[in-house]
Chain A
Amino acid sequence: MIGYFQEIFTGLWSLFVGMSISFKEFFSPVVTVEYPYETVTMAPRFRGHIDLVPDENGATKCVLCMACERACPSGCITIEGEKKEGEKKKTLTLYQLDFTRCSLCGCCVEACNFEAIDFSKEYNLASTRKEDFYFDLLKRLQEKRQ
């Protein structure tokens, strides 16, 4: 009989303790970042999709060694180059990233010995069309230069 009343009492008490906690939380400041209106700054090491890194002249550092293409687990990098007349090395004509398959592992960045690619800080990537995710990185680099 004592146990019966004790249980009712301790039970009620635990409910009041719980309510005191949520009461305290009610008057605590809001912690939400209201996303489209506010944004957080991305961490310096944030791994977005890759981007070509420009050299001093704003041109690409890529020498078409294909190390990134080989390193990529999902085969989402396509590189094409051509040998122009009077030049020793090939020049980059196409650097395409198929972002629909990219899993942001960073293997390509690690594989690159020339620091030609790096992570971008973009995360606002949403679209209704698949084609929007085939990034032509060389074009992006040229646009950035202008």
Chain B
Amino acid sequence: MSEPIHLLPDETFVLNVGPQHPATHGVLRIKMRMHGEYVAEAETVLGYIHRMHEKMGELKTYPQFLMNLSRMDYLGALAYCHGHVLVVEKASGIQVPERAEYIRVITVELNRIASHLFGVGSFVMDLGGFSPLMYMLQDREYILDMLEAVTGARLTYCYYRFGGLYNDIDDTFIARARAFIPRCRESLKKYHRLITENIIFRKRLEGNVYLSSEMCRKYGATGGVARASGINFDVRKNEPYSVYPEFNFEVPVFTEGDSMARYKVKMAEIEQSLRIIEQGLDKLPDGPIMPEKAPKIIKPPAGDYYQAVETSKGSFGIRLVSDGSKNPYRLKLRSPSYSNVSLFDEACVGSMIMDAMAFFGSLDLVVPEIDR
């Protein structure tokens, strides 16, 4: 028999949250030193699902690496694939037909909505509200069905190719996407009434773990986390890529820096993505989806290339160092969740464990993307 625990009033104990814990959404471990219900110190322990994607990038040829990108962030995979094809196209100087680029943007934005819906839904589930997640999954299911019909997969897409797309979208997809926009706007109203205005939700999130803009800059946080702390940075606006400059959309920025702001940024981004999809479907040009002279073997000239894209989690950067061979010399993947999770250790100190976990949920992390 072990001795009963005697705690002095200011004594702390270590609480091991994870790697298997309902709130960590995957295999992430947080070592917390607790002072009663208050977090005195926290340390996130990563690496439980590290799969060496960067090394795989060096060992595989360019087309063979295409499918790895969707294994990073399986919720918003298309944006990551987009970054990869963009950097290789930039390196080898492949011209992408305009129609292909439009379809890319439409599918990326649909995928972003799906990712945000799941992110917000699982965040609300962390707070104990289960039904909103199920309502959001219904809308997400609609998007996934739509994307499955054109890409052939529900989460781990392998849709983009160097120079264009795997296959073209059809009229059914366009009709379903058009039908989705009013449907999603309608359900967004419902979510605002059910969640945003709810007193319990507001009481929990307003003022929950304040993140200053300095702190976001210090840790390199991007995406919704940074935009909720007043940093107006969106790669789609600040370093325009693809055909985003032709679209009319806003970047939602909140200055409160609390979990409520992080939640609101996501909800506002869904609305903006709907606008982009609407415009994209209106402007969608006719034409081929692959360039006429698409190179069979990709061999970018030696050099150093970088491309950042805005994914649903933040800014995803991909650096490609080529030595002119069939394989990249180095492929660095800068994943946004890694930066976003690293500020958790410092930010959650002094808050209660419930608030710390709510804050953790508001960061919208996907663990395989942190570990890559």
Contacts of A110 in B (CB 8 A): 166
Which stretch (A43-51, A91-99, A132-140) binds chain B?
Answer: A43-51
In the bound complex, what is the Cα–Cα distance between A130 and B338 (angstroms)?
A: 34
Q: Number of A-B pairs whose CB atoms are under 8 Å? A: 69
Contacts of B244 in A (CB 8 A): none
Mask of A1-14 contacts with B, CB within 8 angstroms, 1/0 = 00000010011101
Candidates B131, B149, B200; contact of A22 at CB < 8 Å: B131
The reply on A73 being an interface residue by CB < 8 A is yes
The reply on B197 being an interface residue by CB < 8 A is yes
The reply on A105 being an interface residue by CB < 8 A is yes
Mask of B134-168 contacts with A, CB within 8 angstroms, 1/0 = 01001000000100111111001010000000110
Query: Given A73-B67, A105-B67, are A21 and B166 also a contact pair (CB < 8 Å)?
Result: no
Contacts of A106 in B (CB 8 A): 152, 158, 166
Determine the residue in chain B with the shortest Cβ distance to A42.
B148
The reply on A15 being an interface residue by CB < 8 A is yes
Within 8 A of A (CB), among B1-37: none
In the bound complex, what is the Cα–Cα distance between A21 and B198 (angstroms)?
A: 12
Contacts of A103 in B (CB 8 A): 67, 71, 156
User: Contact between B131 and A25 (Cβ–Cβ < 8 Å)?
Assistant: yes
Within 8 A of B (CB), among A103-146: 103-107, 110, 119
Contacts of B80 in A (CB 8 A): none
User: Contact between A71 and B152 (Cβ–Cβ < 8 Å)?
Assistant: no
In the bound complex, what is the Cα–Cα distance between A110 and B197 (angstroms)?
A: 50
Contact-residue size bin, chain B (C-beta under 8 Å from the other chain)? 20 to 34
User: Contact between A107 and B63 (Cβ–Cβ < 8 Å)?
Assistant: yes
User: Contact between B166 and A14 (Cβ–Cβ < 8 Å)?
Assistant: no
Mask of A38-71 contacts with B, CB within 8 angstroms, 1/0 = 0000011111000000000000000000000001
User: Contact between A73 and B150 (Cβ–Cβ < 8 Å)?
Assistant: no
Determine the residue in chain B with the shortest Cβ distance to A24.
B190
Contacts of B193 in A (CB 8 A): 17-18, 21
Determine the residue in chain B with the shortest Cβ distance to A72.
B64
The reply on B65 being an interface residue by CB < 8 A is yes
Query: Given A21-B193, A43-B152, are A105 and B199 also a contact pair (CB < 8 Å)?
Result: no
User: Contact between B148 and A107 (Cβ–Cβ < 8 Å)?
Assistant: no
User: Contact between A43 and B166 (Cβ–Cβ < 8 Å)?
Assistant: no
User: Contact between B60 and A73 (Cβ–Cβ < 8 Å)?
Assistant: yes
User: Contact between B67 and A47 (Cβ–Cβ < 8 Å)?
Assistant: no
Candidates A31, A46, A105; contact of B148 at CB < 8 Å: A46
Nearest CB of chain B from residue A76's CB, rounded to whole Å: 12
Contacts of B65 in A (CB 8 A): 73
The reply on B268 being an interface residue by CB < 8 A is no
The reply on B66 being an interface residue by CB < 8 A is yes
The reply on B251 being an interface residue by CB < 8 A is no
Determine the residue in chain B with the shortest Cβ distance to A45.
B152
Contacts of B149 in A (CB 8 A): 43-45
Query: Given A25-B131, A31-B138, A73-B60, are A46 and B197 also a contact pair (CB < 8 Å)?
Result: no
In the bound complex, what is the Cα–Cα distance between A47 and B154 (angstroms)?
A: 10
User: Contact between A11 and B199 (Cβ–Cβ < 8 Å)?
Assistant: yes
Nearest CB of chain B from residue A99's CB, rounded to whole Å: 15
Contacts of B190 in A (CB 8 A): 21
Contacts of A47 in B (CB 8 A): 152-153, 158
User: Contact between A15 and B199 (Cβ–Cβ < 8 Å)?
Assistant: yes
The reply on B174 being an interface residue by CB < 8 A is no
Nearest CB of chain B from residue A50's CB, rounded to whole Å: 12
Contacts of B135 in A (CB 8 A): 25
Contacts of A10 in B (CB 8 A): 199
In the bound complex, what is the Cα–Cα distance between A10 and B149 (angstroms)?
A: 45
**9 sample A-B contacts, Cβ–Cβ < 8 Å, listed by A number:** A11-B199, A14-B197, A21-B190, A25-B135, A73-B60, A103-B67, A107-B158, A110-B166, A119-B152
Q: Which A residues lie at the B interface, using CB under 8 A?
A: 7, 10-12, 14-15, 17-18, 21-22, 25, 31, 43-47, 71-73, 103-107, 110, 119
